[in-house]
Amino acid sequence: MAVHRGIRVLLIAALTALVFCLGPFLSWGQALDVSRVIQALGRTGETAPGDVYRVGFPRTDLQVTLDG
């Protein structure tokens, strides 16, 4: 019976690894949905290549002086 348990553990580990490896490939066909990002951040941004959604936030921790 110990052999059957070892095979079962090995099979579960292999299936888990397969799901983690194939996960990114299965989502390639889906378009980027930014509506929830906009809702969470409260501001809009711009879509960049590679399913990147860029949102700018001004920095308030810097004191910058221009021309003097």
Q: Could you report the per-residue pLDDT of 26-43, keeping only the tens digit for each?
A: 666 667 778 888 999 999
pLDDT < 50 stretches in the chain = none
Bridge partners of 48, per DSSP, are 52
Yes or no: say if 21 and 27 are a contact pair by the CB < 8 Å rule. Answer: no
Query: pTM for the full model?
Result: 0.42
Yes or no: say if 67 and 48 are a contact pair by the CB < 8 Å rule. Answer: no
Q: Where are the domains of the chain?
A: 2-46
* pLDDT of res. 2: 67
42 DSSP assignment = T
Q: How far apart are CA 26 and CA 24, in angstroms?
A: 6
Bridge partners of 61, per DSSP, are none
